[in-house]
Amino acid sequence: MSDNIVHNVIIIGSGPAGLTAALYTGRANLNPLVFEGLQPGGQLTITTEVENYPGFEHGIMGPELMDIMRKQAQRFGADCQFKLVDKVDFSAQPFKVYVGKEVHLAKTVIIATGASAKLLGLSSETEFMGFGVSACATCDAFFFKDLRIIVIGGGDTAMEEANYLTKFGKEVTIIHRRDEFRASKIMLDRAKSNPKIRLITNTVLEEVLGLNENGKKRVTGARLKNVKTGEESVMEVEGIFLGIGHKPNTDVFKGQIDLEDNGYIKTSKVNTYTNIPGVFACGDAQDHVYRQAITAAGSGCMAAIDAERYLESLHG
């Protein structure tokens, strides 16, 4: 339901950036309203163990970490709602944030909508998505017990997904379009030393092959092409995982604030200000360089402090 309150701050998104912004604005007595979006908790809710978040010596499961962050923000008054913002109007104060027919008003908005997995754009990929094609190993690996799997990509995501998938699949083949890898050395070495992983370079996925029998779809193979020789081949597999990076979730802000050509939100180099005073951006929606949970949380903290100072400046 729409309320007639002009909130101090509305936070859009609930990954480490959004929930850290909620914690800080909560502790500043700003009573933040948080719209958690389609994936409450963000991308960490679809990972397994997070080993690189400081403070957890033995690692922590991604969903558990996000649960703790939400509870910590709620303890200081954050109102976390599982709702999706589908429109904003930043043309005048107070800003308008729409959730379907509901309109919510705010003096400041912190955007923390994160990023989502990229797809290749093949029609066969769409056709078999959820029926053997996946962009999230931790969500779907379980369905591929003792099956043959390929992972597309040459970055850390692809290496991590491949390693994880070896716990379930019979064999995992990483298909990368170049012969150099973007992945960090430690992740690449881990994949290379895993006896269940094979790497094929200079190769792209041209088509997902599958069957649709009696309304039951399943992947049966992958048509591959060597980009150096042009040679095509078919590999029999049951699972195809995409690990080719992410796209910022910023479509809803197009025309409202300045975006980079690649869709990331433009912010000042020294703080989280966007081109609209009172609108701040943090986390993976504006950071295409570091994209870590800890950097997202750090920028969420910055956005909260920026919003707090902006509000102070309004009230003189």
From 241, 56, 215, 54, select the one nearest 147 (Cα to Cα): 241
With contacts defined by CB under 6 A, name the span among 100-108, 136-144, 231-239, 241-249 that binds ligand NDP.
Answer: 241-249
From 187, 183, 150, 153, select the one nearest 169 (Cα to Cα): 150
Q: Candidates 36, 125, 140, 160: give the one binding ligand NDP (CB under 6 A).
A: 160
Minimum CB separation of residue 12 from ligand NDP in Å reads 22
Task: Please tell me the distance from the alpha carbon of residue 158 to that of residue 176, in angstroms, as a whole number.
Answer: 9
Which residue's beta carbon is nearest to the bound ligand NDP?
155
Position 291 contacts ligand NDP (CB under 6 A): yes
Is 30 or 137 the residue whose CB approaches ligand NDP more closely? 137
Minimum CB separation of residue 2 from ligand NDP in Å reads 38
Question: What is the per-residue binding string for ligand NDP in 203-222, x denoting contact by CB under 6 A?
Answer: -x------------------
Catalytic: which of 86, 89, 139, 258? 139
Q: How far is CA 74 from CA 14, 149, 309, in A?
A: 12, 41, 22
Q: Which residues in the chain belong to E strands, given as ranges?
A: 6-12, 33-35, 49-50, 60-61, 79-81, 87-89, 95-99, 102-111, 115-117, 133-134, 148-152, 171-175, 197-200, 203-213, 216-226, 232-236, 239-242, 246-248, 279-281
Is 105 or 120 the residue whose CB approaches ligand NDP more closely? 120
301 is catalytic: no
With contacts defined by CB under 6 A, name the span among 25-33, 82-90, 97-105, 156-164 that binds ligand NDP.
Answer: 156-164
The residue assigned the tokens 């083949």 is 173
3 is catalytic: no
Position 177 contacts ligand NDP (CB under 6 A): yes
Q: Candidates 156, 238, 284, 306: give the one binding ligand NDP (CB under 6 A).
A: 156
136 is catalytic: yes
Q: Candidates 77, 94, 245, 263: give the one binding ligand NDP (CB under 6 A).
A: 245
Question: What is the per-residue binding string for ligand NDP in 114-153, x denoting contact by CB under 6 A?
Answer: ------x-------------------------------xx
Q: Candidates 246, 276, 310, 311: give the one binding ligand NDP (CB under 6 A).
A: 246
# chain residues binding ligand NDP, by CB under 6 A: 19
- Counting other chains too, the contacts that 285-292 makes at CB distance below 8 Å and 24 or more residues apart are 285/13, 285/17, 285/111, 285/112, 285/113, 285/114, 285/115, 285/248, 285/249, 285/250, 286/111, 286/248, 288/248, 288/260, 288/262, 288/264, 291/115, 291/246, 292/52
Neighbours of 77 (CB within 10 A): 15
Amino acid at 249: N
Position 223 contacts ligand NDP (CB under 6 A): no
With contacts defined by CB under 6 A, name the span among 125-133, 240-248, 279-287, 295-303 that binds ligand NDP.
Answer: 240-248
The residue assigned the tokens 């950071």 is 287
Helices (H), 12-169: 16-27, 62-75, 123-127, 137-140, 156-165
Residues that bind ligand NDP (CB under 6 A): 52, 120, 152-158, 160, 177-178, 182, 184, 204, 244-246, 291
Q: Which residues are catalytic?
A: 136, 139-140
